[in-house]
Structure 1
Amino acid sequence: MNDIQILDCTLRDGGYINDWNFTNHQIDKIIYSLNKANVDIIECGYLNDENGLISNSTLFKDIDSVDRIFKGKEYKSSKKVVMINFKDFDIDNLPNKSITYIDGIRLAFHKKDLGNIFSHAKKIIEKGYELYFQPMITKNYTDLEFLQMLKEVNDLNPHAFYIVDSFGSMSLNEFSRYINLADNNLNESIYLGYHSHNNMQLAFSNAISLSLSKLNRNIILDSSIYGIGRGAGNLNTELIFDFMNKTFHKNYETMPLLEIIDDFLNSLMHRNPWGFSPAQFLSAAFNCHPNYASYLINKNTKHIAEINQMLSLIPEDKKISFDKNLIEKIYLDNYVASMKNSISDDFEIDKDKKILLIASGTSINDYENLIEEKIKTNKYVVISLNHKSKFDTDFNFFTNQKRFDEFVNQIDLSKSVISSNIKTDKSVFSVFDLSEYNCFENQIFINVALIAINLFFKKNFTEIEIAGLDGYDINKIENYNYNETNQVLDKKALEEENQILLSNLRLLNEKISIQFITPSIFKNELKLKIIGVIPARFKSSRFEGKPLCIINGIPMIKRTYEQAKKSKLLDELIVATEDERIKDYCDKENIPVILTSDNCLTGTDRIAEVSKEKHFDLYVNIQGDEPVIDPKSINEVISEYKIHQEKYIAYNLYKIIDDETEVTSNTIIKTIVNEKDELMYMSRLGVPFNKSKNKVKYKKQVCVYGFTKKALDVFSSRSKTINEQFEDIEILRFVDMGYTVKMKETFVDSIAVDVPSDIKKVETFLSERGLN
C-alpha cells in the first residue's frame, strides 16, 4: 500500500475562528500535542507580510516569526509547513529552506490567478521547500481545464497537488472523478492531497473513500483537531487517526488531541461555534461561498425557505467569491418587498403623549420598576418592538417576519402594527409601508428600533424614550429579556450589527432626541445633550422678586442668562420659574422660559420638573441670583461630566477659601472631598476640624451643579434626608442616600445676590472692570 499521511491544519484553519489569536503558550501546546500524537505534517499558520504578527498569532509576518516557535525545541517526528495565499506574501522575502525549521510551503490560489501562479511556485521550489500546490475550489474547473492544469503541474513537479472541496459540496461521484483524473495524469512521485470542508458532512466519508482506493501514489489527508475551521469546519484529526489506526495499523495517538479539545478547543467552540449548520448546508447545496448563507441567516429576520429562495438569485459567476454588496441588495429587495394594497397606515398617536419604546434587551429585567413607574404616569404611549413585552403596552410593533410568527398567538393583534414586508392572513391594527421608514439620509436599515424611531420622527415627534436597546454583547449567550431560541452567535455579525445601529442612531439623534432609560452601549457614543437651567423664584423669603431686581438698569435674570449663554458647551439654556411676571419678562426679551409648579421647594426640584418635559443627558443648575457668573464654571462642570458621564450621579465645584472669615460664615458652605475629588460631606460649619499643626485648606462650594436625569429622578422621589435637613444643603440628599457626587476644583468665583444690599456689590464689581 502507498503511504497515507495526515496534515493537521488546526493552527491555520482554526484561525478563522479566533482571528488567529492563539497565544504563544497555546501554539506551543498544540504543536507539542500534535508531535506527540505522531501526526505526519503540522501546518503552523499563514504567512502574510502586511497583516502578520511576530508573536501570539498564527498569522505570521515572516518565517522568522514561525522559527521562534521551534527554536530550542525538539519536534523531530512531524514536518512543519506554512500556507501562503497568493499575493499575501512576497515570495522574494522567503529565505532559503536551509536556514529555517520549515519544511514546506502550501501555496493556495484561485482559478483567476492560474496564469501567474507557476512562476511563484517555481521560486518556492528553487528555495528548497517542498511545495504543496493548492488550487482552491476544485469544482470550479471543467475536466478539460483540470487536465490542462495537471499538465503544467507535472512540469512544475511539486511535492503535492491538492483536491480542494472549498464549499463542502463535493459528492462521492464528483470526488471520485477528480481523484481519477488526478491519479491517472499526475507524475507518480507527486502526492495527492485532499482538503475538505464539512458543510454536508462528507469530509470523513470522502477521506475514507480516498484512503481505501488503490492509487498510484501517496496521499495526504488534511484535518484539524475537533474539526476546527471556518463555517462547517474540517475533517476531524482525532476521527481520521482512529480510522487509520484500526484500518491500516498506524500508530497515531489520539489522547494528546483529546486533551487539547478538553483544555482549550471546547471552550473556544462555545464562544465561537463551528460545525454543521443550515447556513453551511445551503451554501453547499447552491455551491456558493458560505458567507452568502451566513450573511442571510445572521440577519435573523427570514425563515429558511425564504433564505433558500434568496440564495437561488445569486448569479453563477458571483457564487465563487463573496460579494457583500450583491447579497445585501438581494436581501434588502426581498426584505422591503410587499403587497402595496395591504398597506393601511392609520397608525396615529396622540401628540400630547410621549413615546416609550420597549426593546428586547436584558436591561429590561433590571429596570423593571423604573419602566413600570413611567407607564403608571399615563403620559406615555408604550410600544413593544418585535416581541411580546412583560409590560402593559399600547401597541406591538413588528418588522421581523420570524419574530411576528413567533409571537402572533401571544399578542393582541388589534393593538399590533406591522410593516408591509410581513406576510400574514391575520387582521391587525395597522400595516405601514416599510420602504417609507427603513431609510434615513440614504442609509438603509432593517433594525426595528431604527425603523420605529424614524417613523415617529416623520410623524413629527421630537423625542423618543427607549428601554432595552442594550446593544449586542458578543460575550453573552443571552441578549434577550425572554427565552429566545433563535439567536445569532456569530461575533462578527453581532459587532457589525452594533456598528450599523450606532451609525444610524447618531444620524437620527441629530433630528430627534433619543433618550435611553436603561443602560445601552450606544448611549455614550451618541452626542451628549446638555441643557443649562436657571431656576428663578419670585417669592424669595429674604428678597422677594429678586430675579427682576435692577442692576445698572438691567434685570438680574437677563444678566444671568446673558452670562450663562457665553458657555459654548450648552445645547440649550432656559429659565425655569413659577411666576407669571418672570415668564412674561422672559417672553418679552426672547429668553427661553418654562413655567413650573408653585410647590417646588428648591431649585433642584424645579429642574427636576423641567427634566420631565425636556430630555437631556446633563442638566446644569445655574443659580439665577448670580448675575456675573463666569461661564468657565459651567464649562468645568460639563467637561467633568463628559469624562465620567454616568459613573457619578451629580457634579459640583469647590474653591479653596482665601478669606478666613468665610470659614466661620454659615452662609458659606464648606466642602470635604476624598483623594478622588468625590464628595464626602458639606457643612455650614468650618470643616474639617483641625487637630493637627498643619494649616487646613478649607474648600467652599461653588454653586454650579450638573445633574444626570437619574439624579433628578432620585432627588424628586423623596423628601429631605436627615443631614440635608440639619445643614439645609440640597446636595447632601445624594450623599445621605449613598450616591457619589463628583467634585472639581475651580479657580473662578462669583457674587450671589441674596439680599438687596448685594446689588451694590455686583455694581461695584462691574464698575471696577469697566462693564455695564
Structure 2
Amino acid sequence: MKNIKLLDCMLRDGGRLFDCKFSDYEISQITDRLSKSNIDIIEIGFLRDPAKTNYTKNSTFFNDVSQMSRFIPRDTKTKYVAFADYGMFDPDLLPVCDGSSVTGLRVGFTKKNFNQEKEGVKKALRDVKSKGYELFIQGVNSLGYNDEEFVEVLEMVNEMEPFSFGIVDTYGAMFPEDVDRIYSLVDKHLNKKIALDFHAHNNKQLAFANSINVINLCKDRTLIIDGTLEGVGKCAGNLNLELIVNYLSDELGYNYDFDEILDTIDEFIRPLKNKYSWGYSVPALMGGLYKSHPNNIIYLFDKFRLSCKDFKNIISMIDKEKRQRYDYDDIERLYLEYSDSKIDDSYALERLKAKYENKKVLVKSPGHTLIDYKSNIDDYIKSNNPEVITVSYTESDFMCFVGNKRRYEKLIDKKHEGFVLTSNVKNKTDLEDELIVNYNSLIDRRYALYDNSVMMLLNLLKKLRVAEIAIAGFDGYELGKENYNDESFNNDRQIEKTDEINREISKMLRDFIDKVNPEIKIELITPSLYEGTE
C-alpha cells in the first residue's frame, strides 16, 4: 500500500529565511511546478490575523484565504493548505471553505499554549473543522514533551479527530532513537484513522535519515513527510524535498517527476543561494544540540566573531526556556559575561598536568562521611599514595579546588597547599599558589546542576589525563541528616529538592564514568547515594 504523501513547505517554512518575501511570480511558478511534479500537498504560506500582519502582495504572509486563491492552479490533484500559529490568527475571521482556495489548515501550538490555554487551543481547532477545512495539527517541538505529556497531547488530538497530527523536530535535535520513542507513543495512542506528519530540520544532518526511519516504521496509516526544495530554511534548513522524492520514486515506486523538481530548483532556488545561506554548519549543529531558536544562532553568527567552542558555550548559557525564543539583549549580556570569564589557562593546565598526569588522584568532597570513614580514607591514602585534592574546603597538606566565589571568600585565610580556581571565581591572580582554569571548559549546561564543583573537578582531571580517580565524601543529600563535614556549608537550598538533586548528580556522574571508561578508573571509597552509578 502506498501510504506516503509529500508536503512541500517551501513557501512557508522555507520562506522564513527571508521573511517570506517571495514575489507573486515566484509563488505562482513554484506552486505550479510543484503541482506538475505530483507533490501531494503544498503549503502556500502563513495565515495571520490582519491585526498582526498586513498583507501587501509579494509575500506568503496572508491575512485571508481569498488572497491565496490566485496562486492555486486549477484542475490539479494537489492539495493546498496554509499554516496558522495559535494566537497569530483569528478563527472567527476564517470564511467557510468553498473549495476556491486552500482546503486545509495546519494549526501549530506550543507546549506553553497547551499547558496554559488548552481550551483555547481546542476551540481554535474545532473552529477550523467547523468551517469545512481539513485540520492538520502541528504540536511545536515534540522533543519538549516527556512521554506522559506527549500522550496527553495525543489524547486531545484524538478528541479533535483531525486529518493529521505532526511529529515536529523544531530544532533539528532528534536522533533516530528519539524518533523511535516518539513514534512508539503515536503508534500506541493515536487513532489509526488520523494521518501522521513528520517535519524535520537538518541541524544534525539527520533530516533525511530520520524521515526514512519514520517511513520504515509507519505502515498502517497515512504518512505525510514535509520538505523544501534543496532544504531551504532558516539556519540548517529542512529535509531536502528532492532527496525524498528520489528515494520514494526509485526505491518505493512512487510517481513524482524528479526532473520537474530539478528544473524548479535551477530556476528558483539557485538564485536564492546567491543572496542567502542555509544548510548544515557547526553553529546550526549547536542550535540542534541545545534546542535553540534559529534566530539566536543567526544573531550570534552575524554579530560576533566567535570560535566554534565559544559559540557552543554562549548558546548553552541561554536559559532553556529562552532558547526557544530569542532575546538579543539577553544574548549581548551573556556574550559580555562569557567574555569576562574566558581566560588563557594554558599555564595553569601545564602546571597541573605536571602534578596529576598519569597519577592516582583522591578527590575529597566535603560530605560527612569524611568524618565517619576517616580511618578508611587514611588507609586508602597509605596504601595507594594518591595525589589528593579537596573540593570547596581546605586541608593544610592538599590542593583545594573551588568553583564558587562565595566559597572561595570563606577559604582565603585557611591553610592549604594551593587553590585551583575556576575563572568565574576569579579571572586573574598574582599569587603563586593560585591556578585559574576556564570555567566554561569544565561545565555542560545541558545538565541543570552543571556547576557542581565535584563534577567540574572530574572534568578537569579528565583534561589532565589522570590514571585513576578515587572519590570520598561525595555523599548525596538526605533530609534530617548532617550532610557536610563542616558547619559552614549551608543545607537550606537542598531541603525541598533533595531527591531531584540526587537524581541529577547521579546522572552526571554516571555519564562521566561511561565517557571516561576504560581510560580512567573511577572508584567511590565512601558510601554515597550516587554509588549505584559506578
Query: Are residues 75 and 268 of structure 1, via their aligned partners in 2, closer, same or farther at CA, if it must alter by over 3 Å?
Result: farther
1:403-482 matches, within 5 Å, as none
SS in 2 for 1:12: coil
CA distance in 2, matches of 1:339, 1:35: 57
Q: Deviations over 1:134-158 (max 9, x none)?
A: 0101111110000011111101110
Which of 130, 135, 146 is residue 134 of structure 2 equivalent to? 130
Q: Distance in 1 between matches of 2:182 and 2:203?
A: 19
Question: Deviations 1:43-100 (Å, cap 9, x if unpaired)?
Answer: 0000112314152211112111111223xx4241200000001121111111111253
1:166 matched to 2:167: no
Tell me: CA distance 1:179–1:13, structure 2 relative to 1, closer, same or farther (3 Å): same
Alignment of 1:254-653 (within 5 A): 254-336=258-340
Partner Cα separation in structure 2 for residue 236 and residue 204 of structure 1: 7
Q: Classify 1:336/1:89 alpha carbon distance in 2 versus 1 (closer, same or farther; 3 Å).
A: same
Looking at structure 1, the residues matched to 269 and 211 of structure 2 have their Cα atoms a distance apart, in angstroms, of 23
| Sequence identity percentage | 34
Contact 1:54 1:62 in 2 (8 A): no
Higher RCO (Cα < 8 Å, 6 or more apart): 2
Evaluate the alpha carbon distance shift between residue 75 and residue 8 of structure 1 in structure 2; reply closer, same or farther with a 3 A threshold. farther
1:227 counterpart = 2:231:
yes
Determine helix, strand or coil for the equivalent of 1:97: coil
CA deviations 1:110-135 (Å, max 9, x no partner) are 11111121110000001111111001
Residue in structure 1 matched with residue 59 of structure 2 by the alignment: 57
SS in 1 for 2:296: helix
What's the TM-score once normalised by structure 2's chain length? Answer: 0.61
Provide, for residues 336-375 of structure 1, a one-character-per-residue CA deviation record: whole Å limited to 9, x for no partner.
55779xxxxxxxxxxxxxxxxxxxxxxxxxxxxxxxxxxx
Offset at 1:234?
0.6
> Could you tell which deviates more after superposition, 1-10 or 185-194?
1-10
1:263/1:338 Cα in 2 relative to 1: closer, same or farther (>3 Å)? closer
Displacement of 1:212: 1.6
Name the count of aligned residue pairs.
340
Q: Distance in 2 between matches of 1:327 and 1:275?
A: 23
Aligned-pair Cα RMSD in Å: 2.0
Counterpart of 2:103?
A: 103
Helix, strand or coil: the match of 1:271?
coil
Number of the residue aligned with 2:519: none
Matches of 2:19 and 2:288, distance apart in 1: 24
Instruction: Give the C-alpha shift of residue 326 in structure 1.
Output: 2.1
Higher helix content, 1 or 2:
2
Could you tell me the TM-score, scaled by structure 1's length? 0.43
Q: Per-residue deviation at 1:229?
A: 1.1
Q: Residue 205 of structure 1: CA displacement?
A: 0.4
| Residue among 57, 71, 94 paired with 1:69 | 71
Q: 1:315 to 1:57 in 2, by over 3 A?
A: closer
Match of 2:143, SS state, is helix
Deviations 1:696-747 (A, max 9, x none): xxxxxxxxxxxxxxxxxxxxxxxxxxxxxxxxxxxxxxxxxxxxxxxxxxxx
Whichever residue aligns with residue 224 of structure 1, its letter is T
Q: Following TM superposition, where does structure 1 have runs of at least 4 consecutive aligned residues deviating by more than 3 angstroms?
A: 335-340
* Higher CA-based Rg: 1
The gaps in structure 2 that reach 5 residues or longer are 345-426, 428-534
Which residue in the other structure is 1:540 paired with? none
AA of the residue aligned to 2:294: P
Partner of 1:146: 150
* Residues 4, 220 of structure 1: 8 Å contact kept: yes
The 2-side partners of 1:32 and 1:266 are apart by: 18
Question: Closer, same or farther in 2 for the Cα pair 1:338/1:81, shift >3 Å?
Answer: closer
- Matching residue's letter, 2:27: I
Partners of 2:292 and 2:145 in 1: how far apart? 14
Q: Deviations over 1:193-238 (max 9, x none)?
A: 0011110111100111111224331100001111111111111111
Cα deviation, 1:570-610, whole Å, max 9, x if unaligned, reads xxxxxxxxxxxxxxxxxxxxxxxxxxxxxxxxxxxxxxxxx
Q: Is the 8 A contact 1:54 1:65 kept in 2?
A: no
**Aligned residues of 1:16 and 1:229 also touching (Cα < 8 A):** yes
SS of the residue 1:169 aligns to: coil
Superposed displacement of residue 288, structure 1: 2.4
Are the aligned partners of 1:183 and 1:215 in contact in 2 as well (CA < 8 Å)? no
Secondary structure of the equivalent of 2:153?
A: helix
Cα separation, 1, equivalents of 2:233 and 2:294 = 12
Instruction: Provide the C-alpha distance between the structure 2 equivalents of 1:86 and 1:316, rounded to a whole number of angstroms.
Output: 22
C-alpha contact (below 8 Å) 2:137/2:164 kept by paired residues? yes
